Amino acid sequence: MFPLVVAFVVRLLLVALFLPFSALDKVLEFDAAVGQAQESFSSRTLAKGTIVIGLCVEVFMSLGVLTGVADRLAAFVLAGYCIVTALLWKPFWKPGDFWAKASRARGLFWDFWKNCALAAGFLLITFGTGAASVDRFFEQPLSSTHPYAALPYTPPSTLSSTPPSTPVTKLSPTSPPP
């Protein structure tokens, strides 16, 4: 049971920024979100569309990561979303005040790299930790990592710290060590 809880909590921590927080903020403060989107898109209609698409990505892809349903593709989309939002709304190179004391650019710089780090976390779900798993994703992008698959049960009496091929020598208190 503990491994299942850990798997769920790790995934929950990855998506918690989006679901519920960012998604709920987009719903409750839609006009403010559209205003922020207009920093990158001058058209209000395009800004509204961007917010609606972002809301859908945040809700449905987060649910995919949490439930394990097409979680690799969902994590891949969320990784791309993190990079796109970093490029559009965290452009630390634009203010031109990076080295100033009250620098807006420096704050954007850290936010930009946090978005990139979060994207990397999603890519670990997408590709795994080994190079061999990258091809598997592109061969079957809708596959799942099966994060909550049942672990095989091993009764406590069969657990041993001694590998089965190693002979076990039982010593009595009076026998010399082997």
Name, of 24-38, 126-140, 152-166, the range with top average pLDDT.
24-38
* pLDDT of res. 101: 87
Which residues contact residue 17 at a Cβ distance below 8 angstroms, ignoring those fewer than 6 apart?
A: 118
Taking only the tens place, the pLDDT of each residue in 39-83 is 899 999 999 999 999 999 999 999 999 999 999 999 999 999 999
CA 108 to chain CA mean position, Å: 21
As a whole number, mean pLDDT of residues 137-162 equals 76
Report the candidate in 152, 144, 153, 101 with the shortest Cα–Cα distance to residue 126.
144
What is the spatial distance between Cα 40 and Cα 122, in angstroms, rounded to a whole number?
25
pLDDT at 103 over 80: yes
pLDDT at 62: 98
Structural domain boundaries in the chain: 2-158
